[in-house]
């Protein structure tokens, strides 16, 4: 049987029946070869991935020419397949996202000692940080070492015995162990953490000294959006080492870094006689992202109103920055596996289903999402503004990193989101092309299917696993397993084909929470079961939902609640939430404060063990 004119769906259905009958008929086991997707070839996959992951597209950062080229390439593929454009701009569904931040007009930093005031120059001596809160403040200066308060965890506390209430805290970059993330100070390196700590201690503002003698070269002072809404809740500015030395009069930044590191003992002090007045303002710049959307109309007059979504994100990290695991920025992150592989998969499955005779009964919507790496922004926008309305989405199949099949291993997440999935997935994995499947229940996860699951849509997520090139410039075409990806796509084709033709659409169920221990800890000791909405533009953390039977569910938290306090700490953004989570202990009851509509509620919650 050749792949080009693969047997029709009827044959596939027969296969299924055959499998049942065969044993009784005494025919040899293994049965007929499983159905493969028409027209898909390794060469076509190589062509797509080579183009999408080429240096020319410069890592496909949303809003850049490289991402636009990718979107046009995908649209051309959908057009060749004979799909119908279903965006609000032809093939494209446009959506806004915060691409970067730039300096606002109101930036000021001046310090006074003995009646003499020194005014710093913006962009030369100081700069606001992207998550600064805009309020102008003034106060006495206090030097708080590296701004770390971790007496329990790291036996180190720069704030021990230090009064910073209503003062302006000045801190060193990173930690006594430098910027190395693999030390006991690893989780205290970021300025977001230092901001939360200074705010919790009652400081009026945080001033962080940069790591580089050349202010303009500083990574810390770089003005860039860190993909989290919600500012730090206090003004946060970076100053040059020269400016700090002038303020310290006698002591030097380098000297303090060395002496504290050598003794591994804090050396915090009020900066005698220094009063600071500052203001930081940044402006968020939005750009337009583009989802690419194409429809294959179903053949059945009724079932065509139920839509199966086959999707993948096509954006990636550009030259690095937030999300990159590369040592330094500036290198093209080609993103061959993440996620040129999934994007090529969507294009090839579109061609395969368009060539399938008879046409599937349900309609199939092929979507290439953008801004996934920035927090699932494209898919979140899609589910809030679905252009296919009023037709409903019956199921969503998401492919993210399917290009590195090793030892036949494929992870399929979302099994717990419909009772239909397990038997269907296992049936589709028949014959000699059998894959070694790892099935996961959860519908939530770090990719676009999560946006659909939160809308009570059954989802499946296909993933060939992590690898050392993940989110690094080395995620290149030469490491893609093309025959392996082809097998994965045949498997996805069989699943989608079955869903698109079965009498009833898959039933949705809320997935049982997997054993928390099964999940990667992410450095947390506790498990709450909350699902943060990374896109909500709020102060605090809006919940997309909570996991079934989780501590959060037992406390009564629900989708739409905005979490503004945890364990006595104010929560202004997802970073605050992450840091406070790291401090919690299993089975120790804490208070959680939420806004539910206009109501402010304080509830008791007992974290579970991770
Ligand atoms: Zn990805």
Position 27 confidence tier, pLDDT thresholds 50, 70, 90: very low
Say how many Å lie between the CA of residue 1 and the centre of ligand 1: 35
Three-state secondary-structure class, residue 570: strand
pLDDT of residue 32: 59
pLDDT of residue 533: 82
Closest by CA position to 221, among listed 206, 234, 208: 208
Query: For residues 49 and 336, is the Cβ–Cβ distance under 8 A?
Result: yes
141 pLDDT above the threshold of 80: yes
Average pLDDT over the chain, rounded to an integer: 90
Give the percent of the chain with pLDDT over 90.
Answer: 76
Say how many Å lie between the CA of residue 296 and the centre of ligand 1: 25
pLDDT of residue 165: 97
Say how many Å lie between the CA of residue 334 and the centre of ligand 1: 12
Give the percent of the chain with pLDDT over 70.
Answer: 92
pLDDT of residue 159: 97
pLDDT of residue 10: 44
pLDDT of residue 578: 87
Tens of pLDDT along 247-261? 998 899 999 999 999
| Cα 320 to Cα 61: distance, rounded to the nearest angstrom | 9
Query: For residues 441 and 302, is the Cβ–Cβ distance under 8 A?
Result: no
168 pLDDT above the threshold of 80: yes
| Cα 547 to Cα 556: distance, rounded to the nearest angstrom | 11
Say how many Å lie between the CA of residue 597 and the centre of ligand 1: 34
7 pLDDT above the threshold of 50: no
Query: For residues 319 and 380, is the Cβ–Cβ distance under 8 A?
Result: no
Position 51 confidence tier, pLDDT thresholds 50, 70, 90: very high
Name the residues around ion ligand 1, CB cutoff 5 A: 338-339, 400
- Number of residues that this document lists for the chain: 610
Position 39 confidence tier, pLDDT thresholds 50, 70, 90: confident
Say how many Å lie between the CA of residue 338 and the centre of ligand 1: 5
Say how many Å lie between the CA of residue 282 and the centre of ligand 1: 29
- Phi-psi sector, 597: left (phi>0), alpha (psi -120 to 50), beta: left
pLDDT of residue 33: 61
What is the average per-residue pLDDT within 426-438? Answer: 88
pLDDT of residue 423: 96
Say how many Å lie between the CA of residue 181 and the centre of ligand 1: 23
Say how many Å lie between the CA of residue 312 and the centre of ligand 1: 8
What is the average per-residue pLDDT within 475-502? Answer: 97
190 pLDDT above the threshold of 80: yes
Closest by CA position to 316, among listed 308, 325, 306, 307: 325
Which is more confident, 480 or 5? 480
281 pLDDT above the threshold of 70: yes
| Cα 21 to Cα 32: distance, rounded to the nearest angstrom | 12
What is the average per-residue pLDDT within 491-498? Answer: 97
What is the average per-residue pLDDT within 116-138? Answer: 96
- The structural domains of the chain, ordered by start, are 9-100+285-501 (3.40.630.10), 106-280 (3.50.30.30), 524-609 (2.30.42.10)
Say how many Å lie between the CA of residue 353 and the centre of ligand 1: 24
Say how many Å lie between the CA of residue 140 and the centre of ligand 1: 46
2 pLDDT above the threshold of 90: no
Radius of gyration of the chain (CA): 27
Say how many Å lie between the CA of residue 592 and the centre of ligand 1: 32
What is the average per-residue pLDDT within 484-504? Answer: 97
| Angle value at C-alpha 467, between 177 and 526, nearest 5 degrees | 60
Query: For residues 146 and 153, is the Cβ–Cβ distance under 8 A?
Result: no
Which is more confident, 419 or 9? 419
pLDDT of residue 11: 43
| ω into 358 cis (within 30 of 0) | yes
pLDDT of residue 21: 41
Question: Helices 574-583 and 191-200 sit at what angle, rounded to 10 degrees?
Answer: 70
Sign of the torsion formed by the C-alpha atoms of 148, 154, 160 and 166: positive
What is the average per-residue pLDDT within 34-52? Answer: 92
Residue written as tokens 């790591």?
211
Say how many Å lie between the CA of residue 339 and the centre of ligand 1: 5
15 pLDDT above the threshold of 60: no
Say how many Å lie between the CA of residue 413 and the centre of ligand 1: 14
What is the average per-residue pLDDT within 353-382? Answer: 96
HSE-CB for 610 with a 13 A CA cutoff: 15
Residue 278 has φ and ψ, to the nearest 5°, of -150, 160
Supply 410's token pair. 């494929």
Position 589 confidence tier, pLDDT thresholds 50, 70, 90: very high
Say how many Å lie between the CA of residue 436 and the centre of ligand 1: 22
| Cα 129 to Cα 115: distance, rounded to the nearest angstrom | 28
204 pLDDT above the threshold of 60: yes
Burial code (b: 16+ CB inside 10 Å, e: under 16) for 441-478 equals bbbbbebbbbbbbbeebbbbbbbbbebebebbbbbbbe
Query: For residues 299 and 359, is the Cβ–Cβ distance under 8 A?
Result: yes
pLDDT of residue 217: 87
- Note the helical H segments in 470-518: 482-501
Query: For residues 363 and 14, is the Cβ–Cβ distance under 8 A?
Result: no
390 pLDDT above the threshold of 80: no
Distance (Å) of CA 305 to CA 136, 263, 393, 587: 55, 70, 9, 48
Sign of the torsion formed by the C-alpha atoms of 369, 370, 373 and 376: negative
Position 610 confidence tier, pLDDT thresholds 50, 70, 90: confident
Say how many Å lie between the CA of residue 120 and the centre of ligand 1: 42
The DSSP element (H or E) to which 428 belongs, if any, is: helix 421-428
């Amino acid at each position: 049987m050749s792949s080009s004119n693969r047997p029709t769906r009827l044959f596939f259905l027969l296969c299924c029946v055959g499998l049942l009958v065969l044993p009784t008929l005494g025919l040899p086991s293994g049965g007929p070869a499983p159905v493969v997707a028409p027209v898909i070839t390794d060469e076509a996959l190589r062509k797509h991935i080579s183009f999408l992951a080429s240096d020319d597209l410069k890592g496909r950062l949303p809003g850049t020419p490289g991402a636009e080229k990718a979107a046009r390439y995908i649209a051309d593929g959908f057009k060749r397949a004979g799909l119908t454009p279903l965006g609000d701009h032809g093939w494209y569904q446009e959506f806004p996202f915060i691409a970067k931040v730039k300096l606002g007009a109101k930036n000021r930093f001046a310090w006074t000692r003995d009646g003499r005031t020194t005014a710093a120059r913006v962009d030369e001596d100081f700069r606001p940080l992207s998550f600064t809160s805009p309020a102008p403040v003034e106060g006495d200066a206090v030097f708080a070492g590296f701004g770390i308060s971790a007496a329990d965890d790291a036996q180190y506390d720069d704030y021990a015995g230090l009064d910073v209430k209503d003062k302006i805290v000045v801190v060193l970059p990173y930690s006594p162990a430098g910027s190395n993330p693999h030390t006991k100070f690893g989780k205290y390196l970021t300025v977001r953490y230092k901001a939360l700590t200074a705010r919790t201690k009652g400081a009026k503002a945080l001033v962080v000294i940069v790591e580089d003698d050349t202010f303009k070269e500083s990574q810390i002072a770089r003005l860039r959006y860190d993909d989290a809404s919600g500012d730090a809740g206090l003004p946060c500015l970076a100053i040059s080492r020269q400016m700090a030395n002038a303020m310290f009069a006698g002591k030097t930044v380098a000297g303090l870094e060395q002496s504290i590191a050598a003794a591994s003992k804090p050396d915090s002090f009020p900066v005698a006689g220094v009063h600071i007045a500052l203001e930081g303002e940044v402006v968020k710049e939005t750009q337009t992202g583009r989802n690419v959307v194409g429809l294959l109309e179903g053949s059945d007059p009724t079932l065509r109103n139920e839509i199966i979504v086959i999707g993948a994100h096509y954006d990636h990290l550009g030259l690095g920055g937030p999300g990159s695991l590369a040592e330094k920025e500036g290198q093209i992150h080609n993103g061959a596996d993440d996620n040129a592989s999934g994007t090529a998969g969507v294009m090839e499955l579109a061609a395969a289903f368009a060539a399938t005779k008879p046409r599937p009964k349900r309609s199939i919507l092929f979507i290439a999402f953008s801004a996934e790496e920035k927090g699932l922004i494209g898919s979140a926008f899609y589910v809030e503004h679905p252009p296919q309305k009023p037709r409903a989405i019956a199921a969503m199949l998401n492919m993210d990193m399917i290009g590195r099949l090793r030892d036949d291993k494929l992870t399929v997440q979302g099994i717990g989101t419909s009772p239909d999935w397990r038997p269907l997935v296992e049936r589709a994995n028949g014959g000699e092309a059998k894959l070694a499947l790892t099935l996961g229940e959860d519908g939530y996860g770090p990719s676009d299917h999560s946006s659909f699951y939160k809308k009570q849509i059954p989802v499946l997520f296909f993933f060939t696993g992590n690898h050392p090139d993940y989110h690094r410039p080395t995620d290149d075409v030469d490491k893609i397993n093309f025959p392996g990806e082809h097998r994965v796509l045949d498997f996805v084709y069989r699943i989608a084909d079955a869903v698109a033709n079965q009498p009833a659409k898959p039933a949705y169920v809320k997935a049982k929470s997997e054993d928390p221990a099964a999940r990667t800890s992410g450095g947390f000791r506790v498990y709450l079961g909350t699902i943060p909405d990374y896109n909500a533009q709020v102060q605090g953390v809006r919940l997309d939902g909570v996991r079934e039977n989780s501590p959060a569910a037992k406390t009564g938290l629900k989708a739409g609640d905005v979490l503004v306090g945890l364990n006595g700490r104010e929560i202004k953004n997802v970073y605050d939430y992450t840091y406070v989570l790291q401090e919690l202990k299993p089975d120790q009851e804490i208070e959680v404060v939420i806004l539910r509509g206009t109501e402010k509620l304080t509830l008791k919650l007992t974290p579970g063990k991770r």
